[in-house]
Amino acid sequence: MLEHRMTRVGLYGLFLFCAAVMVLPAEAAEHSAITPVGREQPWWIKRHELINKRARQGDIDLIFLGDSITQGWNDNAVWRKYYGKRKAANMGIGGDRTQHVLWRLDHGNVDGLSPKLVVLMIGTNNSNGTDNTAEEIADGVKAIVHRLREKLPQTKILLLAIFPRGQKPNPQREKNAEASRLSSKLADGKMIYYMDIGKKFLEPDGTIRKEIMPDYLHPTLEGYRIWAAAIEDQVSKLLGE
């Protein structure tokens, strides 16, 4: 009888253990935003190789890292005014998601470098439709920050909240805002800093003017001027100027 009871207790304990284990994969499961992957488009490969070529040249104090919003600086007048004399490198690639930036960091974009500062903004492309949740986007941003800290231990990071998109407030904006809020917890005030300048692009009613973002996503020259001015004091401070 005692043996039978012990068997029942043992089976019940085994059941609880298995039930607990079954929960773990859902909590620890990998997802697309944190799984490094490259892209196959010839233009993307060319852009990636150009970034690697710039990295091999060295002499970089400041890196802007991100997607098309970052690539759009494109040595424009605002870039030249604020960053032309600062040994800055534009490492943005259009359409990139967190997983693509992770792959790039593992394939040469910052090899051999020790810049003073990386300005990072990424994640808006992950937010399309049901591709990734706010939590998953934040996971991707965190993975990039951790990778940067591993590869560039002496480099400070200025993490920017994902810029607002869409003419009016909308669910995608809200998703990106939540992802940014979650990512902001990475800031330690020592090596990692966080800024949310999104409101600088918005009208009082929350809309975006075409003069700032003609497609309600990518800045115009005026939009880049707003961006540069908003972060200038922090950039100057973190560069030690």
**pLDDT tier at 145, thresholds 50, 70, 90:** very high
pLDDT (tens digit, 9 = 90+) per residue, 216-230?
999 999 999 999 999
Which residues, 6 or more positions from 79, have their beta carbon under 8 angstroms from its beta carbon?
A: 73, 88, 90, 224, 228
Please tell me the class of the 31-238 domain: alpha beta
Q: Which long-range contacts (CB under 8 A, 24 or more apart) does 38-44 make?
A: 38/100, 38/103, 38/104, 38/107, 39/95, 39/96, 39/100, 44/93, 44/95
Mean pLDDT of the chain: 91
Quick check: 179 and 127 in contact, CB under 8 A?
yes
What predicted TM-score, i.e. pTM, was given to this entire model? 0.88
> What's the pLDDT score for residue 111?
97
> What's the pLDDT score for residue 29?
66
What distance in Å separates the CA atoms of residue 106 and residue 129, rounded to the nearest whole number?
28
Quick check: 43 and 151 in contact, CB under 8 A?
no
What distance in Å separates the CA atoms of residue 200 and residue 208, rounded to the nearest whole number?
10
Quick check: 212 and 226 in contact, CB under 8 A?
yes
In the chain, the DSSP E strands lie at 62-66, 88-92, 117-121, 156-160, 192-195
Hunting for tokens 């098309």 — which residue is that?
68
Quick check: 121 and 69 in contact, CB under 8 A?
yes
> What's the pLDDT score for residue 31?
95
Q: Which two tokens stand for residue 191?
A: 């090596």
pLDDT (tens digit, 9 = 90+) per residue, 2-22?
344 334 434 434 433 343 333
What distance in Å separates the CA atoms of residue 162 and residue 172, rounded to the nearest whole number?
11
> What's the pLDDT score for residue 44?
98
Phi, psi of 13, deg, nearest 5? -65, -40
Half-sphere exposure of 135 (CA within 13 A, CB side): 5
The ranges assigned to domains in the chain are: 31-238
**pLDDT tier at 73, thresholds 50, 70, 90:** very high
- Which of the residues are catalytic? 68, 215, 218
pLDDT (tens digit, 9 = 90+) per residue, 166-213?
999 999 999 999 999 999 999 999 999 999 999 999 999 999 999 999
- With H, G, I as helix, E, B as strand and everything else as coil, classify residue 84: coil
